[in-house]
Amino acid sequence: MIVVAGTIVIDPAQPSEPEAAFDRMRVASLAEDGSLSYQAFRDRVDEGTCFIFEKWRNQEDLTLHFRASYMADFGTVLASDGVRSMEGRKYEVSAGGDAP
């Protein structure tokens, strides 16, 4: 399984369009083969900070996800909302279990 954790910082003065873009991204991502989970959250203190957490069956599915046409649309919306920074990390999970 592949887990993606990302942080996107946008202009908080435009809260409605990013919310709609994240909702469209979530629906489209979850419809993809190999998508196990997709969540996007706003920080409770800093409205301009958004967190994305995704789980994918394997790297091949994630690669296809990044090539999807709606990914370009998502990027266009974020660019118009003044992206200040983006950071993402990918983790390959070989075994799972409950957290202590």
pLDDT for res 77: 79
Phi-psi category of 34—alpha, beta or left, where left has phi over 0 and alpha has psi -120 to 50? left
Instruction: Please tell me whether the overall predicted TM-score, pTM, comes out greater than 0.85 for this model.
Output: no
| Mean pLDDT, residues 8-12 taken together | 84
For 18, other C-beta atoms within 10 Å of its C-beta total 25
Alpha-carbon gap, residue 47 to 27, rounded angstroms: 22
| Mean pLDDT, residues 24-35 taken together | 93
Residue 35, strand partner residues: 56
pLDDT for res 11: 80
Alpha-carbon gap, residue 2 to 33, rounded angstroms: 14
Phi, psi of 55 (to 5 degrees): -125, 130
For 50, other C-beta atoms within 10 Å of its C-beta total 22
pLDDT for res 15: 59
- More confident position, 61 or 14: 61
pLDDT for res 21: 83
**Angle, CA of 6, 9 and 11, to the nearest 5°:** 150
Those residues whose C-beta lies under 8 Å from the C-beta of residue 94, and which sit 6 or more positions away, are none
pLDDT for res 62: 95
Model confidence over 34-84: pLDDT tens digits?
Answer: 999 999 988 999 888 989 999 999 999 999 999 998 888 888 877 777 788
- More confident position, 37 or 18: 37
